[in-house]
Amino acid sequence: MIANGWIQAAGVVLLIGFFIMGVLTYYTYNDEPPIPETVKDSSGHVLFTRADVMAGQGIFLTNGLMEYGSVFGHGAYLGPDFTAEYLHLAALASIDFYGGAKSDASRARTIEDFKTNRYDPASGTLIYTDSQVHAFELMCAHYGAFFGEPTTKFGLRPSAITDPGDIRKLVSFFSWTAWAAAAQRPGHSYSYTNNWPAEDLVSNGPTADSIVWSVLSLAALLGGTGLLLAAFGRWNLVGWHGREQQKMTFRAPDEVLLTPAQNACAWFFFVMAALFCVQTLLGGATEHYRADLQAFFGFDLGRWLPFNIVRTWHLQLSIFWVATSYLAAGIFLAPMITGREPRYQKLLAYGLLGALVLVVVGSMAGEFAGIQHLTTSTWLGDQGFEYLDLGRLWQILLIVGLFFWAAIVYRGLKGRLRSEHMSNLPWVFFFSALSIPAFYAVGLLANPGQHFTTTDFWRFWVVHLWVEDFLELFTTVLVAYVFVLLGVVHERVALRMIYLDVILYSAGGIVGTMHHVYFSGEPAMHMALGAFFSAAEVIPLTFLTLEAWGFLQLGAIQQSNSDTRFPHYWAVMFLAAVGFWNFLGAGVFGFLINLPIVSYYEIGTALTANHAHASMMGVYGMLSVGLALFCLRYIIPQRYWSDRAAKISFWSLNLGLAWMVFATLFPLGIIQLYHAIEVSYYDARTLKFIGSRGNAILEWMRMPGDVVFIVGGTLPLLYLCFLGIRHMRPGHAEEEDSETLFMEVATQSDRR
């Protein structure tokens, strides 16, 4: 159904992208900052060892500290960045050791101590100067008091870490990250982290790479946009036009026969809505910590649910509820594509749902137990990596469940696949579904017991590559197939759109993954390629947004030509919202923080959260709700369906999200970025700055938007999903052929 050129172009883009990623993987393993076997003072006394650093990393992760603060800029945004904090306070201690801040000589000696790389690769030994040893001992006392605080004043559980041995190992890990951030990389004039963080006390400033590649990224964006404008102007690449003259007759939803497995999807959507509600409540609690650290409307929430537990659950549930909607949509659409359903598909669907609930409940319980020190197992408890917090066992079970879902989808499509070419829409639908478990499984390479730089590299294959490329692909395929089934576009046109999506997104999205790892110990090559290719990610967002409006206008024309009422108005409105937030959240806000010179001062601030909320909820959240409304419209009989609930949910979710972004996250991020440049990155990440009066006012201003989002957005959706399980229509026999097309299409000649 599509020319070979489209298939070949998509294949070439994917091959080139993953070849480059293979090269970058090689350099990640070979150029990561070394972890010394021993760190000694000038007299040869061992200060700490590699085993201490790795044990400290384990303590950092299993205590959920990556969901409180950050290391190398990666993690949560309430607590400090421990790399930047250690470096700043240790430099101050060194200056005092040499004679105080008034002495130029003490400042110069401190810079020399921290910038000089005294690591010997042959022996695996790193020598700390006397001032660095002095600073290390002071930092042990500092973090002993911080993590041993018997109250919840810092947002952590009381007396979070009190064992002196654990504190020393944790500080060894922080000290190693600070050493990598300051010591010059051999053969270069900058540190292992490309001179991040900005710290005048040790003469850390932006590198030439961060400035040059920021400029070239802007040039790539403008040049790529111009080229694509020319291509779209010269050729009708997508080709929506041609069906405006066709008359549509939409079938009433009650007339569409459903299979047992399709009815089972009602329970998926109810679970989805319940998880969504809980996730938004946890998000509100997370935000409240930033507005008022210790008192949750008079209740000391930190004693029961400290910030790092709340944020861990908030992030994990964002993945779980979106995934639940995607699983249900895949199962629901399969019989619509083939016209029949194999035996026992319903039982398999319910088995998958039960397994999903088990993983959700088990992983959340494990994360709670891990952070509260009820277990130290990373298999059952908490792995501690942001977005991959769930225990190793639950992670594996989730991957197995996703592959099981792909098998269910294949089983449902099998009859149709036999008669289709492997480049056609049914196969593309299956391959895009299969890519979801395949690339989520890459997260298993992020091992808590291995080098932090390497594990973070693999973690972002999930955070970025899985989400922004392969979930984006499955999103495009789902939406395209829905409109093919509705008769809005021809299957050939939908295929062209999908292959264009693969080419444009993958061209920037695969290698663009590296924009996350500019400063986590990777060589400058990762910054250069990550910056250049991530700029290209904005180009398809711009043009696909333009195409989306043309797409929706075509839908409006077809609806006006129809003799029957279009039953999916609010589902399509959510799809329109996906296009808007994709451009704004992923495109504009994403590009804002992806330039290396901006990211150098911005990473780990509210602008990152601004991009995350606008893109994750705006794109995948809105799509998940839209898919739910599309499917529920057939599951719920007409007499029980509520357009009013769908309307309230749509406007509340979109207005609430816009309020979060523009009333709090964006202005707060700009203020924090300005402070990081004017004062210091270290100071911009302190609780003192975050809890300052002006910032607190901005945090409180988010409350109306959160209330609208939670009450007006999630509760009507939960109500509609409840109607789905309360009033679901009966299903027909699995093996029985049935007419499941949603509409009839008549051409002009038919009407004559």
Mean pLDDT of the 383-405 span: 97
Rounded distance, CA 544 to CA 695, Å?
Answer: 36
Please check the confidence at residue 605 and state whether its pLDDT lies above 70.
yes
749 or 614: which carries more pLDDT confidence?
Answer: 614
Nearest to 13 by CA among 510, 716, 482, 702: 510
What is the predicted pLDDT for the residue at 68?
98
Task: Report the distance separating Cα 248 and Cα 298, nearest Å.
Answer: 59
Question: Which SS3 state, helix, strand or coil, does residue 49 take?
Answer: strand
Residue 243's identity, in one-letter code, is: R
Higher pLDDT, 553 or 377: 377
Nearest to 587 by CA among 624, 531, 536, 528: 536
Alpha-carbon Rg of the chain, whole angstroms?
27
Percent of the chain with pLDDT over 70: 91
Rounded to the nearest integer, the mean pLDDT of the chain is 91
pLDDT at 189 over 70: yes
- Is the pLDDT score of 528 beyond 70? yes
Q: For residue 130, what pLDDT band results from cuts at 50, 70 and 90? A: very high
Q: Other C-beta atoms within 10 Å of 679: how many? A: 11
- Tell me: pLDDT of 107 over 90: yes
Lowest-confidence region among 220-234, 275-289, 370-384: 220-234
Residue 747 pLDDT level (bands cut at 50, 70, 90): very low
pLDDT at 541 over 70: no
pLDDT value at 742 more than 50? no
Lowest average pLDDT, out of 83-92, 520-529, 536-545, 562-571, goes to 536-545
What is the model's pTM? Answer: 0.95
CA 471, CA 464: separation in Å to the nearest integer? 10
Does residue 551 carry a pLDDT above 70?
no
Task: Report pLDDT for 47.
Answer: 98
Phi/psi-derived region of residue 361, left when phi > 0, alpha when psi is between -120 and 50, beta in every other case: alpha
Task: Please enumerate in sequence order all residues whose Cβ is within 8 A of that of 44, keeping only pairs 6 or more positions apart, or say none.
Answer: none
Nearest to 467 by CA among 275, 356, 322: 322
User: Does position 511 have pLDDT exceeding 90, yes or no?
Assistant: yes
Residues constituting the chain: 752
pLDDT at 294: 84
Contacts of 210 (CB under 8 A, 6+ apart): 194, 518, 527, 596, 597, 600
Say what the pLDDT of residue 548 is: 54
**In whole angstroms, what separates CA 633 from the centre of its chain?**
29
Query: Would the pLDDT of 469 be above 90?
Result: no
pLDDT of residue 542: 64
Helix (H, G, I), strand (E, B), or coil: what is residue 733?
coil
Residue 190, pLDDT above cutoff 60: yes
pLDDT tens-digit readout, 346-362: 999 999 999 999 999 99
**Token reading at 690:** 């975050």
Sign of CA dihedral 332, 334, 337, 340: negative
The predicted pLDDT at position 560 comes to: 55
Query: What integer pLDDT is reported at residue 487 of this predicted model?
Result: 76
- Residue 479 reports pLDDT greater than 60: yes
Residue 558 to residues 242, 494, 561, 749: CA-CA distances in angstroms? 11, 16, 5, 17
How do beta strands 38-40 and 382-385 pair?
A: unpaired
Q: What is the DSSP string of 466-510?
A: IIIIIIHHHHHHHHHHHHHHHTSS-HHHHHHHHHHHHHHHHHHHT
Contact at 8 Å (CB) between 670 and 607? yes
Element housing 141 (H / E): helix 130-147
With a cut of 50, say whether residue 680 has pLDDT above it. Answer: yes
CB atoms within 10 A of CB 274: 16
Higher pLDDT, 43 or 227: 43
Where does the pLDDT of residue 199 fall: very low under 50, low under 70, confident under 90, or very high at 90 and above? very high
pLDDT at 739 over 50: no
